[in-house]
Chain A
Amino acid sequence: MNKKEFMKRLEDRLRFLADEERKDILFDYEDHFSAALENGESEEDIVKSLGNPEIIARQYKVSRVIQQAETNKSSGNLLRAVLATMGLGFLNMVFVVGPFFGIVGVLIGFYAAGFGLGISGLAVAGAGLIGLITGTLGPFVQLPVGISFNDSYLSIVLLSFGISFGSIGGLIGIGTFYLTKVFYNLTVKYLKFNVKLIKGNE
């Protein structure tokens, strides 16, 4: 590969960047080439020492994408940042994929639990409310044989439990929401640390 080829490949891979930034980056490498040539190095040697332009471009991409996740908080941006970081190399993938998707799974579980409790709570409270209003629980509640409750007493019990479950479900949902925010910020920090620490494959 000669200089022209190297610069072309680099430029192609940097298309995702704004013109200004891309020009700035390419200028760094032009500068490097001119200084190295002045120093007596051969074009071939320079290109060899610089390494693979695809890998270089990937590093810029990761920095950019992590930056976007930081400034524009969204699940899409975070996922892009995670995937880009994983793409840096095997170790990056190993140290990112497990924890990230593990925690996402846990969060989904919490949301599901909160939602489930909320819905059941609403259903139970609903039955209780109907019992209070209509004076009978009738078709909604089947009691085990031998137990009899005053219908309105039971309605109140159902209503209370229902509201409690529903509230707990709601609290879990809200709590998990805040947990998600914390997780987002921690993930961005971890990605930056990961990029800083582990060298991608040659």
Chain B
Amino acid sequence: MNIQFKKGVLELCVLSILSRKDCYGYELVNEISKNISISEGTIYPLLRRLMNDELFTTYLIESSEGPPRKYYTITEKGKLEQQALVKEWGNFLEGVNKIIKGEDGHE
């Protein structure tokens, strides 16, 4: 059984990317799947959920060849959430590394 706890981390990834620049859907999906292997289709439900939580909003940009493109932009609430998640992630990493190296916390 393959245990994957990637979902919690996906939120952190999405918010981090958006905190640097606005992206459209495909761009976001690509950035993420470049570095972690995920089922790309499940990113959109996640985006929708995060949008309902008001972590970012969307706007449309007209495109010359085709339908308008939806861009995602992070909100203040999203930025705060991102910072909180980065901190949590840091603590988690630290903890796991300690266990792997076998340290007991004393230098």
Contact = CB atoms under 8 A, between A and B. Distances in A.
A68 interface: no
Contacts of A49: 33, 39-41
Contacts of A51: 39-42
B26 A31 contact: yes
Contact of B48 (A25, A31, A36, A195): A25
A30 B25 CA distance: 10
Interface residues of A, number: 31
Interface residues of B, number: 29
Interface in B14-65: 24-27, 29, 33, 39-42, 44-49, 52
Interface string A50-63: 11110110011001
Interface of B: 1, 3-8, 11, 24-27, 29, 33, 39-42, 44-49, 52, 66-67, 69-70
A98 to B, nearest CB: 17
A44 interface: no
Interface in A134-176: none
A202 B44 contact: no
Given A31-B26, A32-B29, A198 B44 contact: no
A20 B103 CA distance: 55
A78 B66 CA distance: 42
A29 B33 CA distance: 16
Contacts, number: 80
Contacts of B67: 30-31, 34
Interface in A41-80: 49-53, 55-56, 59-60, 63, 67
Given A50-B39, A199-B4, 5 more contacts: A28-B44, A35-B27, A35-B69, A63-B49, A196-B8
B37 to A, nearest CB: 10
Contact of A199 (B7, B24, B69): B7
B45 A56 contact: yes
